[in-house]
């Protein structure tokens, strides 16, 4: 199955291998420089899809210095060079769009979050968001998606995992709101996600792929639960998502105590079983045989290979044979 093609919206991918987003912290004033472009191009041969590391959509949403930006038009020329270099080697390329919320650092601006609650010990308290703040974030996601499309990206991925802003709305631990975006109901916890998906879809058109990286479970007492995955997956698909990229919630991208390949496969399976759109699984997968087995077992439709591809730019070439 690893060598089989698959379609995301109207985009045909040549196989099932994905390079997932992994932050390098090497942006040049928010844009990819020649070395970062070469880094991605080197991993594009025989890879189906490259999802570029997260880019902030507005200055107050910056996660860290040296992060990529999609917050203004000045970055478009550099991204155009990046997308051309990757697509020249036959891979598709998505931009990952993000707002760090309470995890924002480096911009000098006040951090904002659903309820002003820190995510982890390494984050300070943030300012609770007003309805105007929420509307502004939606507008920023739309503007960033349009920049990505103008720069030649084949699609965009909305980041809602690893304790960033949209994950903060989804988790009951960080969302104590009582309004329409409340943390007590799935409708409230996913309202902003769905509004962003719908607004981006209206802006980029029906044929442009939109993925969402879904932190499907916090693995913390009082946090989000895997039992909610079927319903939330359906809500995201109905709102316009073309691809579900399953990962961890407030727990981050690593699951302690799990060593077998496909760390979050227990989360990707219920998503795959309840939606018709493709599901991507990443985490601890280092060999082609491991990727093939997870596909055969029905854990996902696409496999993300992170650290192994980071260490070996020719991973995909060797896997496809």
pLDDT digits (tens, 9 = 90+) for 87-107: 999 999 999 999 999 999 988
> Domain range holding 206?
6-320
**Residue 40 catalytic?**
no
The mean predicted confidence, pLDDT, of the chain is 96
Is residue 30 a part of any domain in this protein? yes
Is residue 230 a part of any domain in this protein? yes
Give the sign of the dihedral formed by CA 223, CA 244, CA 60, CA 122. Answer: positive
Is residue 307 a part of any domain in this protein? yes
Is residue 1 a part of any domain in this protein? no
pTM of this structure: 0.97
Of the pLDDT bands very low, low, confident and very high (cuts 50, 70, 90), residue 259 is confident
Is residue 131 a part of any domain in this protein? yes
- The pLDDT of residue 59 is 96
The count of domains in the chain is 1
- The pLDDT of residue 122 is 62
Is residue 181 a part of any domain in this protein? yes
- The pLDDT of residue 255 is 77
Please report, rounded to a whole number, the percentage of residues in the chain having pLDDT higher than 90. 92
Give 175-178's long-range contacts (Cβ < 8 A, gap of 24+).
Answer: 175/114, 175/115, 176/114, 176/115, 176/117, 177/114, 177/115
Give yes or no for residue 123 having a pLDDT over 70: no
Is residue 112 a part of any domain in this protein? yes
CA separation, residue 160 to residues 193, 218, 260 (Å) = 8, 12, 24
Give yes or no for residue 254 having a pLDDT over 90: no
Return the number of other C-beta atoms located less than 10 Å from residue 295's C-beta. Answer: 18
- The pLDDT of residue 124 is 66
Give yes or no for residue 268 having a pLDDT over 80: yes
CATH number at residue 188: 3.20.20.70
Out of 56, 164, 170, 219, the active site residue is 164
- The pLDDT of residue 192 is 98
Is residue 146 a part of any domain in this protein? yes
| Contacting residues for 125 by C-beta, under 8 A, at least 6 apart | 102, 116, 117, 118
pLDDT digits (tens, 9 = 90+) for 201-250: 999 999 999 999 999 999 999 999 999 999 999 999 999 999 999 999 99
């Amino acid at each position: 199955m690893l060598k089989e093609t698959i379609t995301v919206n109207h985009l045909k991918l040549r196989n099932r291998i994905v390079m997932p987003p992994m932050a390098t912290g090497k942006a040049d004033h928010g844009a990819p420089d020649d070395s970062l472009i070469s880094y991605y191009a080197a991993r594009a041969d025989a890879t189906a899809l490259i999802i570029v590391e997260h880019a902030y959509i507005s200055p107050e949403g910056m996660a860290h210095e040296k992060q990529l930006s999609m917050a203004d038009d000045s970055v478009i020329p550099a991204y155009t060079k990046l997308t051309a270099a990757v697509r020249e080697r036959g891979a598709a390329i998505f931009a990952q769009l993000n707002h760090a919320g309470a995890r924002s650092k480096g911009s000098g601006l006040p951090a904002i979050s659903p309820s002003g609650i820190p995510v982890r010990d390494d984050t300070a308290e943030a300012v609770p968001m007003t309805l105007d703040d929420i509307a502004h974030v939606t507008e920023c996601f739309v503007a960033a998606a349009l920049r990505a499309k103008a720069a030649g990206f084949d699609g965009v991925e909305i980041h809602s995992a690893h304790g960033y802003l949209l994950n903060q709305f989804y988790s009951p631990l960080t969302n104590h709101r009582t309004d329409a975006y409340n943390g007590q109901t799935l409708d409230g916890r996913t309202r902003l996600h769905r509004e962003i998906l719908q607004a981006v879809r209206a802006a980029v058109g029906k044929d442009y792929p939109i993925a969402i990286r879904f932190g499907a479970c916090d693995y913390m007492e009082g946090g989000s639960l895997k039992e909610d995955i079927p319903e939330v997956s359906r809500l995201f698909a109905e709102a316009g998502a073309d691809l579900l990229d399953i990962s961890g919630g407030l727990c981050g991208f690593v699951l302690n105590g799990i060593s077998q390949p496909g760390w979050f496969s227990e989360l990707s399976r219920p998503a795959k079983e309840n939606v018709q759109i493709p599901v991507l699984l990443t985490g601890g997968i280092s060999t082609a045989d491991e990727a093939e087995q997870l596909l055969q077992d029905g854990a996902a439709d696409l496999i993300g290979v992170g650290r192994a591809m980071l260490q070996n730019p020719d991973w995909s070439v060797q896997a496809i044979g």
